Chains A and B, each alone.
Chain A
Amino acid sequence: MSYLLEIRELHKIYEGGTHALKGIDLNVRKGEFLILLGLSGSGKSTLLRCINRLIETSSGEIIFDGKNVLQMKGRNLRYIRRQIGMIFQQFNLIKNLSTLTNVLTGKLGYVNTIHSLGFRRCRSDVAAAEKNLERVGLLEFRMKKTRNLSGGQQQRVAIARALMQNPRLILADEPVASLDPATADSVMRYLGELNKKDNITVVCSLHFLSLARKYGSRVVALKDGEIVFDGLPSEINEQKFKDIYGEEAEEVEIR
């Protein structure tokens, strides 16, 4: 099986001098559901943002689908980005726009800049957006402003937005960290479904081991910017858990 994403010797040093990533080597196969574990500040968010260049890396290599992401510029970078959907902890929707418009913004990578100046919508795009909204069960909310939606609903809108990109990879940065346990599970279920049915590769950072065991096909753990564990979710025992989260940590069951 070939790799969709290859990361080699990735370093990130922030302007303030923080060494967030210290030589990450990671290969992601097509169709994997990869869970990133680690304490806050261990470099999970930085790693995810380096993959689609929301953050510029300091050194290293990132190969997505055979193309070197770090050498891409302008239009080519946009072509890479539009194949990679992203989901955020804070949903990052535009709160005072309608749900449908929010989902449609997922298509921006495919639309000419000049064309989008007119705010005109392609009919096929609207149809696709409605289909994706239906898929996450929110079609009836399509004209509602997203600020009026609950947290779980907003995250589902964000998933629909990512789906508009027809992504090959979805990066999820703690997608359920600000949701209650039940809603968290339902959001993860949607991600799992995309992974199984649409064969979209998912790289998802999480805090809950139970969710990682339930949905992940592979777990990678970061600690202080380095990979300290790479294996199956079932392989994480108590000792491994303490290696990742520190000696003091106790596993908290969320159900």
Chain B
Amino acid sequence: MKGQIKNTLKGLMVDFLFWLYLFGCLYYLLHNNWGWTVRNKFILITAMFFTGLFFLIGDSLGRKSFLPTASTNRKWSHSVWGWLLVIVLIVTFLVGWNIVEVNPYKFFTKFRNAGGITSGIFDPSIVGYQLSNQSLEELKLDGVDQEILEKLSGIIGKRYNTRKVCRDDLKRILDEEEFRIYGEILLSKTEKNMTMLNQALTALAETIFLALLATIFAIPFAFILSFFAARNLMPHTFLGNSVYIIIRTIATIFRSIEAIVWAIIFSVWVGIGPFAGMLALMIHSIAALTKLYSEQIENIDHGPVEAIKATGASTIQTWIFAVIPQIISPYLAFTIYRWDINVRMATIVGFVGGGGIGLLLMQQQQLLRWHNVGLIIWLIAAVVWTMDMISAKVRTKLTSM
């Protein structure tokens, strides 16, 4: 009898929430698209009314879930609850469409806006050009006007992605007559400028080392914590259970906070730069590795543990001789995998002040230097691809050991 009342209440609750959601969604659609306005009270009352109505009819979602009747046990397409479910799914989809502002027209017509970055990706600026100092000297010896020389000295050493951009700039600085005389000579003597590539490679190295250090610093913490977060090693006593639950919970919380959030915190704490990025990735790695490691411990063969225990070994000795030898290769595999992930994450973390290639990418993007952005994107892709391949190879080697 008590169960009956409980189930009735649960069923009514489900129905009420269902109708409230349905009318809420409908109201949102009407309000957003046609400017309808109704009092909230009205929606509430309508929902209540429909809840009562359909519950009395004996065929609704609440009844289906908690108080099945003859009519709810029919196939979904032959009963009210089935069609109510279909309606709510359609309405949900429509509301979603509205909230996300889905606009296929924009998608197909505004492609040109992405022209800059697309051309940057297809034409990354690996090598740049600059006017050489030497050509200016030569002009000076030829006795060219001081005025022109001064104009040119402003752009000596300035890096252009292509010769064409360089020519455009020359045309801008010099008048038509001057450009006709000196332009082609100057352009023919441009020299290569690799500063962007150098800068990008330096930043890339920063990212890789940042990720490596974050992983290395995370290992000892995660290693020790994982033993206390493994169900099969923690005794089923109050102390054992609490240690297990506390460590697991903290790890889960820290893991669910994205590295990017940690990076924001640490870039305020220690200042923008790779150190902040490393700390952010380290925190996240500790949490993630603790989970991965401890699951590995939970998967070990329990036989050797039993055998070592039976020799009279202490708990620590059992861990050292029966647990660690079994987990060492999967641990290494996971650690390399983590480094791999960290390199990828470091790029994102750089955007919010974590240093490395991410920071450079953001700067170049904000300066709208799409060809440099293209270069950086290619470099990141190359590194991620290489790391991915190497780590996969090493991992298969390790897991087969």
Query: Interface residues, chain A, CB within 8 Å of chain B?
Result: 52, 54, 78-86, 88, 90-97, 105-111, 113, 116-117, 158, 161, 164-165, 171
Q: Does B3 contact A (CB under 8 A)?
A: no
Q: Which residues of chain B have C-beta atoms less than 8 A from A171's C-beta?
A: 310
Interface residues in B276-309 (C-beta closer than 8 Å to A): 301, 303-304, 306-309
CB <8 Å contact, B306 and A92? yes
CB <8 Å contact, A82 and B321? no
CB <8 Å contact, A109 and B311? yes
Q: Which residues of chain B have C-beta atoms less than 8 A from A92's C-beta?
A: 301, 303-304, 306-307
CB <8 Å contact, B307 and A165? no
CB <8 Å contact, B311 and A82? yes
Q: How far is the CA of A92 from the CA of B311 in the complex (A)?
A: 12
Query: Interface residues, chain B, CB within 8 Å of chain A?
Result: 301, 303-304, 306-314, 316-317, 320-322, 325-326, 329, 401
Given contacts A93-B304, A97-B325, contact A86 B320 (CB under 8 A): no
Question: In the complex, what residue of chain A is closest to B236 when comparing beta carbons?
Answer: A15
CB <8 Å contact, A116 and B320? yes
Q: How far is the CA of A82 from the CA of B307 in the complex (A)?
A: 11
CB <8 Å contact, B308 and A86? no
Given contacts A96-B325, A96-B401, contact A105 B306 (CB under 8 A): no
Q: Which of A81, A91, A116 contacts B310 (CB 8 A)?
A: A81
CB <8 Å contact, A117 and B320? yes
Nearest CB on B from A236, distance (A)? 29
CB <8 Å contact, B303 and A108? no
Excluding A81-B309, A105-B313, A108-B321, 7 further A-B contacts by CB distance (< 8 Å) are: A52-B310, A88-B307, A93-B307, A97-B325, A105-B322, A107-B311, A108-B311
Q: Which residues of chain A have C-beta atoms less than 8 A from B322's C-beta?
A: 94, 105
Q: Which of B308, B316, B325 contacts A113 (CB 8 A)?
A: B316
Question: In the complex, what residue of chain B is closest to A115 when comparing beta carbons?
Answer: B317
Q: Which residues of chain B have C-beta atoms less than 8 A from A106's C-beta?
A: 311
* Chain A to chain B contacts (Cβ below 8 Å), 9 pairs: A54-B310, A81-B311, A81-B312, A83-B312, A85-B311, A92-B306, A105-B321, A108-B313, A111-B317
Given contacts A90-B303, A92-B304, A94-B326, contact A113 B311 (CB under 8 A): no
Q: Which residues of chain B have C-beta atoms less than 8 A from A117's C-beta?
A: 316, 320
Q: How far is the CA of A46 from the CA of B316 in the complex (A)?
A: 25
